[in-house]
Amino acid sequence: MEAASPSVRGSLACPHCGQVERVQHVPAVYRNGLGTYQGSSSAVGVAGGHVAYGYATHGGVMISSISSALSPAPAPRKAGWLLGVSAFFIPPFVLMMWIALNMTRHASSSAVTAAQKAGYAFGTWLMPAFFLLPVVLFLGVFIHRVRRNSLVSRGQHAALAIWNAGWYCDRCGGAFFPIGTPAAVPTGELLPLGAFRHVVWSAGGYAHVS
């Protein structure tokens, strides 16, 4: 492989140790830290009076600590299940509302004092409120996650442009932007991985998402 010219080697040298041999492109370091795994498990049980054997496979994605620290964007948060859980509480809420309306109508026609009516109404509407609370809670979290994921999705293009300009020094354990990087980033200094990620995520507008 053709050796790099002195100007190229100088621009990619680590600002901390001055070496270039163990400097790698940030996207390459990130990809090298990703991997998949596959596994299997078996179980023995009794079904219908007979011994039954079960077998299942499972898998997933592994990510190293360095890749996690150099991630160009936070992982999306799953939101669909929250909508399903909130929908689970809607039927009992509607039922309790119907019961409460009928009981309130009955109380209004009875000869009771104002204080008794107030206490009766409080107890009557307590159950609908009990089922409404989780609906509002889960819907609120669902909306928050959808907005968060949308914010990250919209900003990733700008963040990736900055992320692709970064380099990682394996010797020093930090990342940097070479001098002359055409972007509003700190150049010529070694950044801790957390600080580097903050610069990238800030470019995408999602540095403070939760």
Residues 137 and 85: beta-carbon distance below 8 Å: no
| 21-31 pLDDT per residue, tens | 999 999 999 99
pTM (2 decimals)?
A: 0.67
Query: Whose CA is closest to 156, among 210, 208, 207, 201?
Result: 201
Q: Where are the domains of the chain?
A: 6-31+62-204
DSSP H stretches of helix in 164-206: 193-204
Alpha-carbon distance of 164 to 200, in angstroms, equals 10
Structure tokens at 157: 């293009």
Give 51's strand partners: 46
Q: What is the mean pLDDT of each run of 10 residues along the chain (210 residues)?
A: 41 90 94 64 50 47 81 88 81 80 63 58 73 86 92 95 95 94 91 95 90
Helix, coil or strand: residue 74: coil
Tokens 């100007």 identify what position? 7
Alpha-carbon distance of 206 to 152, in angstroms, equals 6
Residues 124 and 107: beta-carbon distance below 8 Å: yes
Alpha-carbon distance of 49 to 71, in angstroms, equals 52
What is the pLDDT at residue 35? 61
